[in-house]
Every structure is written in C-alpha cells, then in structure tokens.
C-alpha cells in the first residue's frame, strides 16, 4: 500500500479546494439560500404541507442533493481532467501507485469537499426553516454514499472528457434535469400515475427519496430500494474505473 | 554485472497504426550515462515512455533493476525518476509543495532536509515559496528535475534535457548529471544534439525510425567509425589536383591553398607516408599540416543516411 501517495494526492486536491474556497462554497450556499427564500418562504407559504411536512422543510433534502451531485461530479472530474489537460498526469502514470490508491486520493478528496458543502447547506437551511433529522446516522450515510458515488462518476467524466465542453455537458445536460425532475421540489406521488412510473427510471428519484426518508421518515420509494440503487451505481462506477485504469483508456498511449 | 535496465523485443504500435518502436533490444549498464541519440520522431520519447509506464508496449518485455515493469511496477517505478520533454507543471502550486507532493506520490515519507538539499543544489531554494507560474522557463525545468529526483531514484531519465535551455542551466545540469553518476545513479538521456551525447555520455545508442541502429562505447564508436582528415597548407596555391593523384581521397580548397586527405583512422595502412612521398616527387611543398577527427555528427549522419 502506498499510503504516502494517497496522502499526497488527497492533500494536493484539498489544497486546490482551499485556494478556491470562496468560489467552492459561496456560490452553492448563495444559490441554495435563494431557493429557500423563493420556494421555501415566498411561494412555499402558499403551498400546503406534503406528507405532513411544511413545504420549506420538504425541499431541504432535495436541495442538498442537488448541490451534492453537481459538486461531487465537478470536483472529481476537474481533479483528474486538469492533470490530463496540463500534462502533469505523466507523474501519476509513472508513479508506483495502484489505480485503487489513486482513486482513494482523488475521489476521497472530491467527496470530502462535497460533504463539507452539504453540511454547510444544511446549516444554512436551518436559518430559514426549522427541521429535525429523524435518522441522523442514515442521513450521514446517504450523504457520504452519494458523495462518493457521484465523485466516482465525476472521475469517469474527467477521464473521458477531452475538452472543457465535455466536462461541463454531463452535469449541465444530464444531472441538473434529472435532479429537478427527481422530486427535489415535489413528491413523486403528486404526479399522474403514468408519470410516476416514468419517474422511477430516474436514478436521482431514489437518492432524494432515501435522503428525505432519513430526515422525515417518509419516502416515495422504500428506503431499502434507495440504498440498493445507490449501491448498484457505486459498484458500476467502480468497475468502469477499474477497466479505465487496466486498459489505460484515455490515460496511457 | 547485470544490466540495470533490460529491454527485449520491445515494440509499440500506436492506436493510429503507426509503428513507433520495432523490436528494440537494449541494455543499460548500472551507473553509466547513456545517450539515446536520434532525429525527431525516431521513437526516443516513446521508448522512455514504455519504460516509465506512460506508454503501453505492444510487445516485448522491460526489466528495471530486475523488476518486470508491468508485473512488479511498484518496485520498478520506485527506482525511476523521469524528466519529460514537455514542461508541464502545476501553475498554482509552490515549488516546495510540488516537490514534496512528488516525493509522497513515489511512496517516500516526508523529509524536509532532503528536499531542502535538493532545492539548494538546483538553485531553487530562494524560490521555494514561489508559485510555479511566476517562474521562468528555465526555473520550471529545474523544478521538474527536482520533482524527478525527489524520491531518490537510482535511474534517471532525461528526455531532451537541454532543448530550449539557456547556457547556465545547461552547464548546471551537466554538473548535476555528473554528480548524480558519481553517487551511483544511472542516467539515460535523449538528445538530437550530437555534441551533447559526445560531451556527456559513456555509451551512445543511435535510434532512427523505431530501430536501434547501434550501441557503442562513445570512444569505441568514435574510433571505429571515425574518419581522420589531414590538411596540408601549401607553399604555393594549386589550380587543380594533379592528375597523378586522380582517384585518391583528396580535396583542394577553393583558393587552392590547402589539400585535404581523408583516411580511416583505424586501418593499418593510412597511406599518409606514401602520399607525402608522392607530393614531394611532384614538387608540391607545404608550410604546415594538421589532422582532425570527424565528430559524432559525421558518424551519425552517415549512419542514418545508410539506413534511409
Ligand atoms: N500518441 C501517438 N499516436 C500516434 N503516433 C504517435 C504518438 N506519439 C508519437 N507518435 C509518433 O511516433 C513517432 C515517434 O515519436 P517520439 O517517440 O515522440 O519520437 P522522438 O521522441 O524521438 O522525437 C513519431 O513519428 C510520432 O509522430
Ligand atoms: Mg521526443
């Protein structure tokens, strides 16, 4: 085990985070605050409670997930894309580092960052809406699992991308719509029956539902199904990354 | 003594179908400075990349210090440091942070005293807290050398180390390379400057179009393939080479004041004695004479031309 390498990569990535602390944290916190003001306070006061939860409180888990997903993906994809772009990746490729070690360093750092952000958003939300967390352990578990899984996914995008457009396109064109349509702002049960079925194709539905369950004990789909879906996605990402390193896809000539 | 690097049957075909290395066999001796000499596009960077793990070989095997670089990559790579041809650095990092990062990446515990010594050797110490983007090109190259040496490798690859480098850095670099060799490090450098190979190397391998054309001790190479020239400065200019010398390897300078005779330095009979006697018979007198050896450059050009 090359522990020193994991530590070096992790520190390097966290240092980058530290340098851009304001950008990394301020903009997601600001945009989340705006959501609370608009949807939670202004419009939310005219929307009835959903499943017995006030609308302002109802949207918290979805908003955290929204930021968590996009930040995990962008942190991790940027982390591996930049060395490819500047050419400094030669060092990683020539180092005595296994793919699993590199992954722990890069993905660990990306997931740490987005978890810090998630916690910060939860704290910010508390300023607007009083809420309780029914299952704190599961809340943290969902937060961590989601952060890791989507950081892995971001890592794949970063390896695959050969330009800045590609780096942006997946979060923008895929993740954002899926999150908005995944029940951040409404319960899937509020949709007409056909759309409820269609919505279940969307993996983000399971994330938000499970996460919301950890807060309020109510969910659109069974929490076990949510956990299983995240697990499946996590394993799929891991297998794909293993293949990337073994085959050298877009990393080695 | 077992070679420190042993390459057998190495070939590389890029995804484009281009065959950059064609069945390379090469052994690098422990502790030597080996120069891989070849024109642009010969396959030098590809060869280094294959040893260091940047390029996936299409065939063949590579051992570094006894370790198979694919199966036992950890042990092999720990021994190797690489300064690539391209300048690529992390713009926003400080010199100290980037060199410490490299040391960790290669599995070594922190050692501030060693990093300090390294930075001082490379005249980087007073820049240790500077962001890399604020450094000049030459300084950046020093940083890349420091990164490559940060984990105390026993094998160092320098890919075109002096391309675009100023005189001072070049001198420092050669001094450093000699110092490293004295401490037991094996150095493999690539270059397309013949003077560089001539000046630095113990042995020279010539590569062209993905093939190693020859590997030779520098001195032996010079002696084996080297031609010598004898130049005679004449008392009186000649209009042309006298007919009696037709077919001899003689050339007359444009002003008619000098005759140049080319001969094989290694051969038993250089023909110089006979030449001087015959010149005397013809009444051609000379003021002075001087002999010179041909440089590696001439050897190199003739080798590559032979292949073409
Ligand atoms: N990634 C690549 N894909 C296809 N061909 C390549 C690639 N990299 C290098 N080549 C080709 O392989 C040959 C050898 O390149 P290289 O090893 O860089 O030569 P050198 O370092 O001796 O100048 C060149 O003709 C180059 O165009
Ligand atoms: Mg090259």
Same domain, B105 and B244: no
Average pLDDT value for residue range B145-172: 91
pLDDT digits (tens, 9 = 90+) for B14-37: 999 999 999 999 999 999 999 999
A30-44, A92-106, A193-207: the lowest-pLDDT one = A30-44
Q: Who among A11, A90, A253 is closest to B88 (CB)?
A: A90
Same domain, B218 and B242: no
- Span from the CA of A225 to the centroid of ligand 1 (angstroms): 51
Cβ of A8 under 8 Å from any chain B Cβ?
A: yes
Test A86 with B106 for CB contact under 8 angstroms: no
Above 90 in pLDDT, residue B50?
yes
pLDDT digits (tens, 9 = 90+) for A160-174: 999 999 988 888 888
pLDDT digits (tens, 9 = 90+) for B60-115: 999 999 999 999 999 999 999 999 999 899 989 999 999 999 999 999 999 999 99
d(CA B47, CA B23): 11
Nearest-Cα distance to chain A for B105, in Å, is 4
Same domain, B16 and B152: yes
Above 90 in pLDDT, residue B169?
no
Question: Which band of pLDDT confidence, cut at 50, 70 and 90, is reported for residue B293?
Answer: confident
Same domain, B42 and B55: yes
| Overall number of domains in chain B | 2
Give me the sign of the Cα torsion angle A151, A155, A156, A158: positive
| Structure tokens that stand for B125 in this block | 């110490």
Q: Which ligand ends up closest to the CA of B56?
A: 1
- Domain end (from B193, B208, B223): B223
Kindly report the protein residue whose alpha carbon is nearest to atom 18 of ligand 1. B45
* 8 Å CB contact between B205 and B48: no
Q: What is the CATH number of the domain that holds B234?
A: 3.30.70
- Span from the CA of B209 to the centroid of ligand 1 (angstroms): 10
Average pLDDT value for residue range A185-211: 88
Same domain, B214 and B260: no
Residues 181-210 of A with CB under 8 A from B: none
pLDDT given at position A7: 97
pLDDT given at position B295: 63
Question: Which band of pLDDT confidence, cut at 50, 70 and 90, is reported for residue B225?
Answer: low
Same domain, B80 and B185: yes
Mean residue pLDDT of chain A comes to: 90
pLDDT given at position B248: 83
Same domain, B219 and B245: no
pTM: 0.85
Ligand 1 atom at shortest distance from the alpha carbon of B160: 21
Testing ligand 1's pocket by substitution, the residue of B13, B14, B58 carrying the most ligand atoms inside 8 A of its CB is B14
Test B82 with A94 for CB contact under 8 angstroms: yes
pLDDT given at position A237: 93
Test A96 with B78 for CB contact under 8 angstroms: yes
A222: left (phi over 0), alpha (psi -120 to 50) or beta: beta
pLDDT digits (tens, 9 = 90+) for A109-156: 999 999 999 999 999 888 888 888 999 999 999 999 999 999 999 999
d(CA A152, CA A234): 8
| Structure tokens that stand for A26 in this block | 């301020």
Q: Domain range for residue B232?
A: 226-307
* 8 Å CB contact between B47 and B97: no
Average pLDDT value for residue range A25-42: 83
Nearest-Cα distance to chain A for B219, in Å, is 33
pLDDT digits (tens, 9 = 90+) for A67-82: 899 899 999 999 999 9
Same domain, B160 and B232: no
Q: Which ligand ends up closest to the CA of B161?
A: 2
Q: What is the CATH number of the domain that holds B131?
A: 3.40.50.300
- Span from the CA of B244 to the centroid of ligand 1 (angstroms): 52
- Domain end (from B196, B223, B250): B223
**Which of A5, A84, A94 would you mutate first to test chain B, the one with the most B CBs within 10 A?**
A94
Average pLDDT value for residue range B286-304: 74
Residues 82-121 of B with CB under 8 A from A: 82, 84, 86, 88-93, 97, 100-109
Q: What is the DSSP track for B156-185? A: EEEESTTTT--HHHHHHHHHHHHHHHHTT-
Same domain, B196 and B287: no
d(CA B203, CA B181): 13
Average pLDDT value for residue range A85-107: 95
- Our answer on whether the CB atom of B40 is closer than 6 Å to any ligand 1 atom is yes
Same domain, B217 and B292: no
Same domain, B198 and B55: yes
3-state secondary structure A190-226: HCCHHHHHHHCCCHHHHHHHHHHHHHHCCCCCCHHHH
Say which residue, B302 or A18, is predicted with more confidence.
A18
Cβ of A80 under 8 Å from any chain B Cβ?
A: no
- Domain end (from B165, B200, B223): B223
Query: Which residue from A minimizes the CA distance to B97?
Result: A12
Same domain, B182 and B40: yes
- Span from the CA of B84 to the centroid of ligand 2 (angstroms): 9
């Amino acid at each position: 085990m090359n522990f020193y390498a994991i530590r070096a990569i992790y520190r390097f990535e966290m240092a980058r985070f530290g340098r851009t602390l304001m950008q990394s944290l301020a903009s997601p916190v600001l945009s989340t605050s705006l959501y609370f003001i608009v949807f939670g306070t202004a419009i939310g006061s005219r929307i009835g409670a959903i499943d017995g939860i006030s609308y302002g409180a109802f949207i918290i888990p979805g908003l955290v997930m929204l930021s968590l997903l996009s930040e995990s993906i962008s942190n991790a994809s940027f982390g591996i894309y930049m060395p490819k772009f500047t050419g400094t990746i030669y060092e990683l490729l020539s180092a005595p580092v296994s793919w699993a070690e590199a992954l722990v360093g890069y993905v660990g750092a990306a997931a740490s960052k987005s978890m810090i952000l998630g916690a910060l958003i939860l704290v910010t939300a508390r300023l607007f809406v009083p809420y309780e967390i029914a299952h704190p352990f599961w809340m943290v578990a969902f937060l961590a699992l989601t952060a890791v899984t989507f950081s892995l996914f971001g890592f794949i995008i970063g390896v695959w991308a050969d330009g800045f457009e590609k780096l942006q396109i997946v979060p923008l064109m895929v993740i954002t719509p899926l999150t908005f349509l995944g029940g951040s702002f409404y319960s899937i049960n509020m949709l007409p029956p056909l759309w409820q079925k269609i919505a279940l194709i969307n993996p983000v539905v399971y994330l938000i539902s499970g996460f919301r369950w950890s807060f309020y004990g109510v969910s659109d789909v069974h929490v076990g199904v949510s956990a299983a879906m995240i697990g499946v996605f996590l394993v799929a990402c891991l297998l794909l990354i293993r293949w990337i390193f073994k085959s050298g896809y877009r990393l080695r000539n | 003594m077992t070679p420190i690097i042993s390459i057998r049957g190495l070939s590389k075909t890029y995804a484009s179908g281009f065959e950059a290395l064609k069945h390379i066999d090469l052994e690098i001796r422990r502790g030597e400075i080996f120069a891989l000499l070849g024109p642009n596009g010969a396959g030098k960077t590809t060869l280094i990349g294959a040893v260091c793990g940047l390029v996936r070989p299409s065939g063949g095997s590579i051992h570094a210090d006894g370790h198979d670089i694919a199966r036992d990559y950890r042990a092999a790579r720990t021994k190797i440091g690489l300064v690539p041809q391209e300048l690529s650095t992390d713009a926003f990092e400080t010199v100290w942070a980037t060199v410490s990062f490299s040391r960790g990446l290669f599995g070594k515990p922190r050692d501030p005293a060693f990093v300090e010594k390294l930075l001082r050797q490379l005249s980087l110490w007073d820049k240790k807290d500077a962001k890399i983007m604020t450094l000049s090109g030459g300084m950046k190259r020093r940083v890349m050398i420091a990164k490559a040496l940060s984990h105390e490798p026993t094998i160092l690859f320098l890919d075109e180390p002096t391309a675009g480098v100023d005189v001072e850095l070049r001198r420092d670099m050669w001094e450093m390379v000699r110092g490293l060799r004295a401490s037991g490090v094996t150095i493999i450098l690539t270059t397309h400057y013949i003077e560089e190979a001539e000046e630095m190397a113990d042995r020279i391998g010539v590569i062209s179009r993905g093939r190693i054309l020859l590997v030779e001790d520098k001195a032996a190479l010079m002696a084996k393939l080297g031609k010598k020239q004898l130049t005679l400065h004449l008392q009186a200019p000649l209009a042309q080479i006298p007919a009696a010398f037709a077919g001899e390897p003689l050339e007359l300078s444009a002003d008619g004041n000098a005759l140049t005779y080319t001969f094989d330095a290694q051969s038993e009979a250089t023909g110089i004695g006979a030449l001087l006697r015959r010149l005397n018979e013809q009444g051609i007198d000379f003021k002075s004479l001087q002999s010179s050896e041909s440089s590696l450059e001439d050897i190199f050009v003739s080798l590559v031309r032979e292949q073409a």
